[in-house]
Amino acid sequence: MQDRTRILHLTDLHLRHALAGTAKRPERLSREMPAVLGRLAGRIDALAADVVVISGDLLDIPDEYIDGTNTDPDWRAETAAASVADYRLFRDLLENLGRPFVAVPGNHDVPDLFDTAFADQTPLRDVAGLRFVCFRDDLNGDRAPVRGAESRALFETALADGVDGPPQIHVQHYMIDPPTFAQWRYHYTDADWYRDRINASGCVRAVLSGHYHPGSHLVSDTGVHYSVPPAFCSAPHPFRLVDVGPLGVLGIADRSMDND
């Protein structure tokens, strides 16, 4: 790999454009997201990003659609069509950045609808000398993040390549470390097990997540960075630059669209 690969990591955009209304929480500026992403395109060269990572909640699809409580077939068809239109818009906005990108869905996304625009987002992707391992996980009935059999198999496959493969960046919506509770649990039910495996792996350089909107950053005693940028949907629209070298993360810097 090159001496330094710079990841521009943004998360939790909660975009709505064709979708009606805005996110339930007023600080999530769903309808401003297309314009803010447009502004980011104007800064991408100055930011010197090699690859863009988006760790879920690209859209803010209504809860009533996702949890099935609104069963009206016309409303469901309309909402699905608007979501597809918004995923295509999101993809256009990402293409406009002119950098390769890595995206996973979050709990406000619908994977099948996400795939209408992002079917090329395969679980293992080598970009700019790094191996991006992209997990799609879920919330259980108690709103706790859980990793299913498919994700666990992907995790084992990725770690089996170990230090012989390219340095790995794991991308997922939910958190592994630190254990984080606010109104809900934000880390996986079996996060400790993943944390111990990752920290001992010698091949995972960073774990990039979203979901916890205030953001977080922790470095393990083996040098693995667990990073959650504050949610991009809220002013000042923060994001992170993560510089990765062959032996690990070289540095992390917080930036925002409105302040710097």
User: Contact residues for Fe ion (CB under 5 A)?
Assistant: 12, 57
Smallest gap from residue 174 Cβ to Fe ion (A): 11
CB–CB of 147/135 below 8 Å?
yes
User: Side chain identity at 251, as an amino acid letter?
Assistant: G
Q: Is 54 helix (H, G, I), strand (E, B) or coil?
A: strand
Residue whose pair of structure tokens reads 């493969």 in the numeric block: 165
Q: What distance separates the 2 farthest-apart alpha carbons in the chain?
A: 54
Q: Is 59 helix (H, G, I), strand (E, B) or coil?
A: strand
Nearer CB in complex with Fe ion: 57/137: 57
Nearer CB in complex with Fe ion: 12/177: 12
Smallest gap from residue 132 Cβ to Fe ion (A): 20
Distance between the two ends of the chain, CA-based, in angstroms? 29
- Mutual angle of helices 191-201 and 149-161, in 10-degree steps: 10
Smallest gap from residue 26 Cβ to Fe ion (A): 14
Smallest gap from residue 203 Cβ to Fe ion (A): 29
Nearer CB in complex with Fe ion: 55/168: 55
User: Side chain identity at 87, as an amino acid letter?
Assistant: Y
Nearer CB in complex with Fe ion: 199/209: 209
Smallest gap from residue 12 Cβ to Fe ion (A): 4
User: Side chain identity at 138, as an amino acid letter?
Assistant: D
What is the side-by-side order of every strand in the sheet holding 168-171?
A: 124-127, 130-134, 168-171, 204-208, 225-228, 216-219
Which tokens is 100 given? 């390769």
Nearer CB in complex with Fe ion: 12/50: 12
Smallest gap from residue 239 Cβ to Fe ion (A): 14
CB–CB of 215/230 below 8 Å?
yes
For residue 243, the surrounding DSSP H or E stretch is strand 238-245
Nearer CB in complex with Fe ion: 28/131: 28
